[in-house]
Amino acid sequence: MATASKKYNKWIVILSIAIPLAVAILFGVKIDVKLPVFLPPIYASLNAFTAVLLMVAFWAIKNKKVALHEKLMKTAIIFSVLFLVLYMAYHMTSDSTKFGGEGFIKNVYFVILISHIILSVAVIPFVLITFVRAITNQVELHKKIAHFTFPLWLYVAVSGVVVYVMISPYY
């Protein structure tokens, strides 16, 4: 079974490097287009839905509802990809918003923001490896890495919502 996942390893490495690199590059690209909707509440909602999906998927697998768990996890991946696309679309068409809080709350905001950014990059290979181990039926290896992937991914999803809520008064 381990050989079944080896064909995916190249893609895991490529995507784990290409996604953060593309985000970093595209963050500097500005397109003069006015979007018909204000994206931050939409992509923050996708993060919130992802967090809920992750928690329900955790419940499902703990209750031996494997098929439900699988559907929920695939949906969480789709929501995360949609989040990334909308996040990039917003930042390519809008100026970044500066946090306007001061003092202690500003420090809290930046701790959450910086940890969110770092872990959002770090979680990519974890999600991909966990997913590959699931689709290649390496259940025990899947469980082992899922113990790390789940809290990381949940933190990234929840902290993304917290960052949005904290910065939303300054849009």
pLDDT computed for residue 6 by the predictor: 79
pLDDT computed for residue 30 by the predictor: 92
Cβ-based neighbours of 64, under 8 Å, separated by 6 or more: none
Low-confidence ranges of the chain (pLDDT < 70): 1-4
Nearest residue to 113 via CA among 94, 130, 126, 97:
97
pLDDT computed for residue 4 by the predictor: 65
Q: What is the Cα–Cα distance from 20 to 124, expressed in whole angstroms?
A: 9
Taking the CA atoms of 57, 58, 59 and 61 in sequence, report the sign of the dihedral they define: positive
89 neighbors 108 (Cβ within 8 angstroms):
no
Both structure tokens of 38: 């204000």
Q: What is the Cα–Cα distance from 154 to 166, expressed in whole angstroms?
A: 18
Q: What is the Cα–Cα distance from 54 to 154, expressed in whole angstroms?
A: 7
* Interval 62-96: pLDDT, tens: 999 999 999 999 999 999 999 999 999 999 999 88
What pTM was estimated for this model as a whole?
A: 0.92
pLDDT computed for residue 154 by the predictor: 98
